[in-house]
């Protein structure tokens, strides 16, 4: 769906993400502003904020997209495990988040840690099957398993197995 005249939204999102990562490499995370990113991407500041509410969100675009996908699966009534596996099957090896695998080089490790909890909590809510204590504990445990498997997958390098295989193995362990 186009974002008005010009580039389609997905193209702009990817362009903004690439511009941010380039600038984080060149200048460091702390010395890169939203204005710098918008300028590099060839979009306006408002366009950047149409995708993210904070600079740290740029580190999580793929994870947030996967969470949106998972929310769609759960919204259709798919149980947690099949919903996770269906979502993971749609994440190709080309979508390994550089911010995770290159956190030190990009200078974003502290920001990743600080901004990760919002994603883990959203994942836990998406996996929860009820409000009672046992359901919350089970969902939190599954969310931790998913996060650990995703990081292991991203860090595995070029010969990595598909995410769905890593996730299935982690869930079944």
Residues 48-72, mean pLDDT to the nearest whole number: 92
What are the residue ranges of helices labelled H in 53-107?
61-75, 80-89, 98-101, 103-106
Residues 1-12, mean pLDDT to the nearest whole number: 51
Residue-level pLDDT at 10? 52
Alpha-carbon distance of 76 to 82, in angstroms, equals: 12
More confident residue, 2 or 49: 49
Within a domain: residue 3? no
**Model confidence at 4, in pLDDT bands (50, 70, 90)?**
very low
Range of the domain at 40: 9-51
pLDDT per residue over 69-114, tens digit each?
Answer: 999 999 999 999 999 999 999 998 877 777 788 888 888 888 888 8
Give me the percent of the chain exceeding a pLDDT of 90: 62
In 3D space, the residue among 92, 102, 8 whose CA is nearest the CA of residue 59 turns out to be: 102
Within a domain: residue 4? no
User: Whole-prediction pTM value?
Assistant: 0.84
Are 86 and 33 within one domain?
no
More confident residue, 124 or 8: 124
CATH number at residue 45: 1.10.10.60
How many structural domains are present in the chain?
Answer: 2
The pLDDT mean for the chain works out to 89
Within a domain: residue 1? no
β-sheet bridge partners, residue 8:
2
Residues 152-156, mean pLDDT to the nearest whole number: 89
Handedness of CA 76, 128, 97, 22 (dihedral sign): positive
pLDDT per residue over 130-140, tens digit each?
Answer: 889 999 999 99
The answer to whether residues 27 and 33 touch, using CB atoms and an 8 Å cutoff, is no
């Amino acid at each position: 769906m186009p974002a008005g005249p010009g580039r389609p939204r997905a193209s702009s999102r990817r362009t903004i993400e690439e511009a941010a990562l380039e600038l984080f490499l060149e200048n460091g995370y702390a010395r890169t502003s939203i204005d710098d990113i918008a300028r590099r991407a060839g979009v306006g500041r408002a366009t950047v904020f149409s995708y993210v509410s904070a600079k740290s969100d740029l580190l999580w675009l793929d994870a947030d997209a996967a969470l949106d996908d998972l929310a769609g699966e759960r919204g259709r009534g798919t149980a947690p495990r099949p919903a996770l596996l269906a979502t993971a099957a749609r994440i190709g090896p080309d979508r390994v988040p550089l911010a995770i695998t290159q956190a030190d080089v990009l200078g974003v490790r502290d920001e990743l840690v600080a901004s990760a909890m919002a994603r883990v909590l959203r994942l836990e809510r998406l996996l929860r099957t009820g409000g009672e204590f046992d359901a919350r504990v089970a969902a939190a445990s599954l969310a931790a398993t998913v996060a650990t498997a995703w990081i292991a997958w991203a860090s595995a390098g070029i010969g990595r197995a598909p995410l769905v295989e890593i996730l299935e193995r982690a869930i079944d362990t």
